[in-house]
């Protein structure tokens, strides 16, 4: 994560999207303390989706069960799944 002083961020406002794209997240600082983050919209949406998934107990339970299945070798190949589904 790259840090950028707030005065520099203000002066380079129009260039921040390109800079955030390269660095993923820019930490904007005031008096050497992070006060806000600048990131691409795609990354922002991804973070929101992750929070939504993690806040759903049912979904987390299913994810844990799926991980256990993979670790125990209870998996099927894609071609086997297609064959079983008649696709």
pLDDT in tens, 3-59: 999 999 999 999 998 888 877 899 999 999 999 999 999 999 999 999 999 999 999
Which of 45, 10, 79 minimizes the C-alpha distance to 53?
A: 45
pLDDT of residue 30: 97
pLDDT of residue 24: 86
- Angle of CA points 9, 12, 16, to nearest 5°: 75
> Rounded CA gap, 41 and 37, in Å?
12
Crossing angle for the helix pair 57-71 and 41-54, to the nearest 10 degrees: 90
> Rounded CA gap, 47 and 42, in Å?
9
More confident residue, 1 or 23: 1
């Amino acid at each position: 994560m790259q840090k950028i002083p707030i005065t520099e961020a203000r002066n380079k406002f129009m260039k921040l999207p390109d800079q955030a794209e390269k660095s993923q997240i820019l930490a904007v600082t005031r008096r050497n303390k992070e006060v806000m983050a600048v990131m691409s919209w795609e990354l922002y949406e991804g973070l929101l989706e992750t929070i939504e998934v993690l806040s759903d107990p049912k979904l987390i339970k299913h994810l844990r069960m799926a991980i256990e299945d993979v670790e125990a070798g209870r998996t099927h190949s894609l071609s086997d799944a297609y064959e079983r589904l008649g696709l």
